[in-house]
Amino acid sequence: MRHFLTLKDFSKEEILEIIALAGKIKQETKNREYKPYLKEKVLGMIFEKSSTRTRVSFEVGIYQLGGTALFLSSDDIQLGRGEPLKDTARVLSRMVDIVMIRTFRQERLEEFAKYSTIPLINGLSDIYHPMQLLADYMTICERGYNDNLSVAYVGDGNNIAHSWLMLASKIGFELRIATPKGYEADKKVLNDALEFAKMSKAKIIVSHNPKEAVKDAQVVTTDTWVSMGQESEKVKRQNDFQGFIVDKKMMGYAQKEAMFLHCLPAYRGFEVSDEVFEEHSEEIFDEAENRLHVQKAVMVWLDRHR
Ligand code: CP
Ligand code: NVA
Q: What is the pLDDT along the chain (306 residues), one digit of tens a residue?
A: 999 999 999 999 999 999 999 999 999 999 999 999 999 999 999 999 999 999 999 999 999 999 999 999 999 999 999 999 999 999 999 999 999 999 999 999 999 999 999 999 999 999 999 999 999 999 999 999 999 999 999 999 999 999 999 999 999 999 999 999 999 999 999 999 999 999 999 999 999 999 999 999 999 999 999 999 999 999 999 999 999 999 999 999 999 999 999 999 999 999 999 999 999 999 999 999 999 999 999 999 999 999
Q: Is the peptide bond before 36 cis (omega within 30 degrees of 0)?
A: no
Q: Ligand 2 within 6 A of 228 CB? A: yes
> Which atom of ligand 1 is least distant from the CA of 52?
7
Amino acid letter for position 91: V
132-287: CATH superfamily: Aspartate/ornithine carbamoyltransferase (3.40.50.1370)
Amino acid letter for position 11: S
For 232, which DSSP code?
G
Nearest to 131 by CA among 21, 5, 14: 5
Q: Answer whether 176's CB lies under 8 Å from 61's CB.
A: no
> Which atom of ligand 2 is least distant from the CA of 228?
8
Is CATH 3.30.160.60 what the domain over 7-128+291-304 is classified as, yes or no? no
Side-chain half-sphere exposure of 298, counting CA atoms within 13 A: 33
Name the pTM for this structure. Answer: 0.98
Catalytic annotation present for 263: yes
Domains in the chain: boundaries:
7-128+291-304, 132-287
Q: Ligand 2 within 6 A of 227 CB? A: yes
Q: Ligand 1 within 6 A of 52 CB? A: yes
Catalytic annotation present for 141: no
From 223, 262, 293, 303, the catalytic residue? 223
From 3, 53, 129, 162, the catalytic residue? 129
Sheet containing strand 203-207, edge to edge, reads 203-207, 174-178, 150-154, 219-222, 259-262
